[in-house]
């Protein structure tokens, strides 16, 4: 396979333009990814009219200012807004009225719920669940027995509630990030140590990049590992000094992985988290300042190359072979129970 990164500078510039348009309609804007955003339009009716009229105005403004098409979903929760936007693609608008959430979701395939990947879909199919309405019939207690805490969250999502995961935070009103993490769910569970370590290397540098963008450094490095039986473990290590450089994060994560993964165990998901933030890394002692500064210079140069040519152009040797992109998870600690990540 050939992997092309496209034109990341153009994508980021288009994303910035879209955000400016959105911020002209509401002060509460959250970019969930480079091409997905949430707006809280509470209290804007006098300025922009009722929700449907406001959505048409947003749609027209984005087309006018960016020459891009978009789809818009309107709902009482972020979950409903996201799913209705997906249903309105490629460039439509769909409103789900208050009180109609469960009826809207009921006939949809269960995979339409964010976080339900191929593995969970198959497991639910084994339970007789193919549509969202089947989840409500199964009930939260049965879902909890089968899927743990993720089952409880699914029961809420089937009713249109923002239950579980990063949906819990309010649009544009999250506290300053307490942690930054990246996760990757494998299409097929794997026990290949080379693939697993390459994936952790890529996740480590993605987290490091985000830390540097935010101007923070963290002390606590945490590994998340979920096996094919949906058993999840989290293990953490606290560094002597905070860091936002890729190599120290990768070193700590690799040590945690090797100490806690049993060879031959198939892995479904891996995650890397950094927390315990400080606004900037403190000065290092004289004897180890030189190598740290060399890594900092190298990382700065690498970030510039990634800005220009894409994230995969340069990185840790241990990350070679890991070709994927993931959303960033901020302000949410990696869950310690059996929960299914966003995909």
DSSP label at residue 221: E
Neighbours of 288 (CB within 10 A): 10
Kindly calculate the radius of gyration of the chain based on its CA atoms and give it in whole angstroms: 21
Cα angle value 247/248/249 (rounded, 5°): 90
Neighbours of 69 (CB within 10 A): 12
Distance CA 249, CA 284 (A): 17
Q: 């899927």: which residue's tokens?
A: 147
Distance CA 281, CA 107 (A): 52
Select which of 36, 144, 278, 330 is catalytic. 36
Q: State yes or no: is 36 an active-site residue.
A: yes
Nearest CA to 244 among 271, 270, 210?
210
Sequence-distant (≥ 6) Cβ neighbours of residue 262 within 8 angstroms? none
46: number of CA atoms within 13 Å, CB side? Answer: 1
Distance CA 57, CA 274 (A): 40
Distance CA 197, CA 133 (A): 39
Distance CA 41, CA 54 (A): 9
Distance CA 134, CA 132 (A): 5
Distance CA 195, CA 192 (A): 5
- Show which residues are catalytic: 36
């Amino acid at each position: 396979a050939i992997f092309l990164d496209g034109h990341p500078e153009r994508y980021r510039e288009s994303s910035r333009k879209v955000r400016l348009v959105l911020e002209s309609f509401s002060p509460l804007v959250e970019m969930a990814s480079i091409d997905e955003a949430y707006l809280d339009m509470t209290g804007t009716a006098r300025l922009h009219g009722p929700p449907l009229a406001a959505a048409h105005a947003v749609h027209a403004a984005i087309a006018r200012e960016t020459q891009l098409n978009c789809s818009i979903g309107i709902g009482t929760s972020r979950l409903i807004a996201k799913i209705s936007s997906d249903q309105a693609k490629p460039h439509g608008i769909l409103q789900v009225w208050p009180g109609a959430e469960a009826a809207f979701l009921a006939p949809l395939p269960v995979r339409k719920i964010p976080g339900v990947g191929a593995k969970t879909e198959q497991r639910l199919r084994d339970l007789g669940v193919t549509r969202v309405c089947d989840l409500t019939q199964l009930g939260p207690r049965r879902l909890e027995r089968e899927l743990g805490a993720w089952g409880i969250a699914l029961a809420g999502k089937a009713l249109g509630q923002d239950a579980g995961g990063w949906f819990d935070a309010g649009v544009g009103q999250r506290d300053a990030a307490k942690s930054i993490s990246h996760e990757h769910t494998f299409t097929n569970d794997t026990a290949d140590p080379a693939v697993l370590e390459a994936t952790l290397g890529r996740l480590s540098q993605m987290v490091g990049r985000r830390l540097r963008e935010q101007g923070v450094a963290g002390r606590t490095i945490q590994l998340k590992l979920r096996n094919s039986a949906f058993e999840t473990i989290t293990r953490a290590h606290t560094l002597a000094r905070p860091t936002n450089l890729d190599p120290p994060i990768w070193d700590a994560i690799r040590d945690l992985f090797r100490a806690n993964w049993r060879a031959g165990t198939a892995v479904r998901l891996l995650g890397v988290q950094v927390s315990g933030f400080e606004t900037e890394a403190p000065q290092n002692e004289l004897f180890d300042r030189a190598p740290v500064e060399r890594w900092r210079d190298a990382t700065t140069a690498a970030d510039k190359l990634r800005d220009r040519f894409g994230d995969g152009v340069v990185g840790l040797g241990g990350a070679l072979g890991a070709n994927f992109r993931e959303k960033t998870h901020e302000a949410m600690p990696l869950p310690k129970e059996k929960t299914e990540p966003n995909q």
